[in-house]
Structure 1
């Protein structure tokens, strides 16, 4: 990361902390009280030592009062430290919560193009692991950085009040410690950033392997997956080891320099005491201050190392937050209501990669209530048309209109609410079967949920389950068969009954007997509704009002099932390849 970006990250972290300025001020006040009282103790200790006038001659009266003061100071310091730690915890976790909420909100507002083109595991790593790393660094920074800096300033002030000459000796040796810490910290940051990036790669691989475990086992990919894991894990080990090495030598290096400071003070103070410039008690106080003065440098060097890690992690999170969101709805965007279902595509051009053309000059007019089937070989653009209709992607040129209004002038929520969508790839959330069916209509009654399940022919298998509609589905419905999951997704659409439907291989995982029943339910549901049906099995689309035959992003044939067979073109070729005896 370049220095400009580094400074920007720090500035943004401070901005996030700035929302809790009163907490920061309270923490600073507690830190100030803690440091001042802690530094006052050596003065009292020095005075107590000076009460020892000679062997057998001790001023116990004065010493007793001093010890009483020290006891009260220790108690107040302990309470102040506890308060500071508690306040720092509150500030840190509120800041982290705010950043995590912003990051998750950004994920929800990102265009689908970003999600499709980035590793899901890396995005998860940024939301979870990187923010946790940032949290640890921020908490350590609050807890030790404040008190460390104040301790350094406070000890200098107290040392100057005792003996300015020796205090100057301490200041002259200090830059060596700062130089050593700075030299190591610069090299540590790069290592921690590489470590964070590689951790994201590892998370991505693990997430992918766990999500596709059955496929991995079925194709005997275990050894290759293990090799991939070991390669990334080895890189993580290397970067982690380098980061740890550089961070771990910071403390010993600064301790060595600080020991020089302590030795210098001891020698200079001893000569001053012999010459009568210092009392023995004052020398004791000075040595105590020298020790307290050097200790924060050790702590700060550790904090700086942790902060380097936190900054590297924060930078990755801010990169996610700074990603361009999807184009927002126009302020005057229309809200679809009483949708008729008239859809038109005019001179539509679109491609995922500018270098690879996909859909070119597509034109289509769909009347309200029509059933439009889209067929063609894999990769011809069928699902892409669905992505454009739902406005998951915007067209590169041309326009798509619903009821005469360009979809870019309609709010996304109202547009997508107007479609019911069942895909070949099912998705179920962790929760009960009832929650999953009512996903699009959380306010639906139990009777409506059961009715939708019956229409989707899912009711019978649901009732056979131990808890019926209250059965809890595990992540992604792994405790259900693929067919059962698809029936629940169909029931979800049956419950919403939107004015337009998109069925993308909606019955691909269902047995033939159940498929016949579902097709009847679909036929009833599609009455009066504009429907787009994507299918590879041509037997499912014979009743469509119009069939679009696509190849290489173009509609090459269009008509009813019978008329397309009569043309004896590409559709007839596809159909005969499936049903030829």
Structure 2
């Protein structure tokens, strides 16, 4: 039975999640896609259970009246039929409660938020680099995790409190009125006053809940950021600074928490005052009517039981309502992140990129990260099939930006980039990047095994192909010596977050092996050997030379000696090409390249501080 209900909802739908609306109710409605039938069923069952629960008080009243008026030896004979009906009705609640709990706990409690997290996560994976450059990774993670849970909790609270308890109060008022209409008055007055107190406190709790959710996300983001960059924190001796940075966020969270608890305390005091007033008024009024002979003892017993039940429930309702609007605040806070439109999208008619030759063409390209001053303007360049081109220029010249727009991490602001005559704006992003291999200067590995990191280049590769790629990247030997605290060794050893357990050279060689295994027709190198020692670099250069055979290559280097042997060198300055040619041709021209070659220090391109711009 458990498994049957657990399988009713598939938590990982294959369909691409649609863009979520920004308005609150539309957002929640969109989140319930695929769940609505089960949520309606849960609401109906909750209402039925509430009606049954309230009906018990009427039974109590009737039983007291029977006991007061009937002779004990004749009770069973006189009321046997009614008693059997009551007993049957009591046992009928067992399957009702069973279906309710199966639907709530087996079908929805786990699968519903997991389905939302799955969809939210895929939506975040589709966001552009610009989105991630403006956000803490930990903050985004918090939004994905807590918003999904808040949607579930809000809907459960609406069903269990707003709907079910609403039905419950209507039922007990009707039952109280069945004894004497005047008994409805204390309950009605209490309900109005309780609603007014909720009307005052709950919206304020919602506002502070939203502020607290944002403060919690900020606190988590700052702490995660410190852990992610722990080597930098320790290198600059900033553990105390980072602690203070986190403390500032914690203090903001504490401030919102104190505001919330003040409201909760006020709400609880008012609620208890109302409950005491209800008990005194309802019980006292019913006893007074009984002394007048206008109602029986059963009515007194039923009303007393009802008020005591309401007393116990009112505190639970108070906390549930506070939780409801705290979840509302959490959802409203998450909407700002989760509904942000994607900046780089595949066109509806986008087709997979087909690379047959490997020609890359930049035509009148203009791009500037949305700023008035473009980083690249009127840029034209053709990289012929199989040609090896080196990009040279001081920091800020636009080299890395050129690579980013070729990979379509950002959309162009003007012009076009074509690969084998296909505009990259009209092909799918996955197919574009599948045909481009890249080794960057700042190598980041996944916190998984060495095997997983290399196989990331081509998950369908065989073990033999993976090991061969590691050998070509001069990585196999050191991989054999790796171990981790869990006892895993060699290719099974985990490398730590961002590969921190490996040296810079080791990370670079694993990254090169990953690209070698990918074997894409277009290759991008951004200081691919910068982290290697001279002996290993020489071996890697030989491997890269082998890797570059038959591929179109674009290489960025500050160390000119590493790219001097390429087919063509393109010198960039302020987003434009100022020179191009072979190493010998550019030296013979005596221009910018010749000056850079002459003034490089230790084999690296010197920096002109006055001309240096921040790399975008």
Shared fold (TM-score, shorter chain, > 0.5): yes
Task: Please list the CA deviations of residues 472-519 of structure 1 after superposition, one character each: whole Å capped at 9, or x if unmatched.
Answer: 333322222121111011011111221110001111111111111111
Q: Relative to 1, partners in 2 of residues 1:295 and 1:68: Cα closer, same or farther, differing over 3 Å?
A: farther
Distance 1:365 1:12 in 2: 46
Residue 222 of structure 2 corresponds to which residue in structure 1? Answer: 205
1:151 touches 1:296 (CA, 8 Å); kept in 2? Answer: no
Distance 1:173 1:231 in 2: 44
Give the paired residue count: 575
What is the match of residue 59 of structure 1?
72
Q: Deviations over 1:85-114 (max 9, x none)?
A: 332233243332232122111112222221
Task: Describe how 1:5-404 pairs up with structure 2 within 5 A.
Answer: 8-17=23-32, 19-53=34-68, 59=72, 62=75, 77=93, 80-81=96-97, 83-89=99-105, 90-293=107-310, 295-404=312-421
SS in 2 for 1:346: strand
Output the CA distance in 1 between the equivalents of 2:22 and 2:275.
29
Q: 2:498 is matched with which residue: 472, 476, 482?
A: 476
**Aligned partners of 1:6 and 1:489: how far apart in 2?**
39
* Partner Cα separation in structure 2 for residue 562 and residue 294 of structure 1: 91
- Determine the C-alpha separation between the residues in 2 that align with 1:100 and 1:506: 36
1:566 aligns with 2:588: yes
Alpha-carbon distance in structure 1 between the residues aligned to 2:34 and 2:348? 29
Q: Which residue of 1 aligns with 2:486?
A: none
**Cα distance, 1:564 vs. partner?**
2.1
Q: What is the rounded CA distance, in whole Å, between the counterparts of 1:580 and 1:141 in structure 2? A: 69
How many angstroms apart in 2 are the aligned matches of 1:405 and 1:18? 37
Aligned CA distance change for structure 1 residues 470 and 22 (closer, same or farther; 3 Å)? same
Partner of 1:193, secondary structure, is: helix
Shift of 1:443: 1.4
Asked if structure 2 preserves the Cα contact closer than 8 Å seen for 1:109 and 1:325, the reply is: yes
Greater CA deviation, 381-390 or 70-79?
Answer: 70-79
SS class of match (1:357): coil
1:523 aligned to 541, 545, 548, which one? 545
Distance 1:22 1:343 in 2: 52
1:153-207: CA deviation from partner (whole Å, max 9, x where unpaired): 1101111211112213432342111011110011111111111111111111111
Counterpart in the other structure of 1:462 = 479
1:402, 1:126 → 2: CA distance?
A: 38
Q: What is the CA distance between 1:456 and its match in structure 2?
A: 0.8
CA distance in 2, matches of 1:383, 1:465: 33
Q: CA deviation at 1:117?
A: 2.2
TM-score between the two structures when normalised by the length of structure 2: 0.86
Shift in Å at residue 77 of structure 1? 4.6
Deviations 1:501-554 (A, max 9, x none): 000111111111111111111112212211010111111011111112222222
Matches of 1:12 and 1:154 in 2, distance apart?
33
SS of aligned partner of 2:110:
helix
Provide, for residues 249-271 of structure 1, a one-character-per-residue CA deviation record: whole Å limited to 9, x for no partner.
32332232233233222232222
**Stretch deviating more after TM superposition (490-499 or 350-359):** 350-359
| 1:144/1:347 CA distance change after superposition, 3 Å | same
Matched residues in 2 for 1:302 and 1:405: separation? 60
Unaligned runs of 5+ in 1: none
Give the conservation status (yes or no) of the 8 Å contact 2:206–2:326. yes
- Report the more deviating stretch, 252-261 or 173-182: 252-261
Equivalent position SS for 2:524: strand
Distance 1:365 1:28 in 2: 64
Counterpart-to-counterpart distance in 1, 2:236 and 2:42: 58
Asked if structure 2 preserves the Cα contact closer than 8 Å seen for 1:106 and 1:320, the reply is no
More helix as a share of residues = 1
Deviates further, 453-462 or 319-328: 319-328
Q: Aligned to 1:349, what secondary structure does the other structure show? A: strand
Q: Is the 8 A contact 1:456 1:491 kept in 2?
A: yes
> In structure 2, do the counterparts of structure 1 residues 408 and 200 end up closer, same or farther at CA, with 3 Å as the change threshold?
same
The answer on whether the counterparts of 2:43 and 2:160 sit within 8 Å (CA) in structure 1 is no
Deviation at 1:447, TM superposition (A): 1.6
Q: Larger deviation: 188-197 or 562-571?
A: 562-571
**How far is the alpha carbon of 1:146 from its aligned partner?**
3.8
State whether structure 2 residue 509 is matched by structure 1 residue 487.
Answer: yes
Scaled by the length of structure 1, the TM-score of the pair is 0.91
Partner of 2:600: helix, strand, or coil? helix
Q: In the superposition, relative to structure 1, how do residues 14 and 261 fare at CA in structure 2: closer, same or farther (>3 Å)?
A: farther
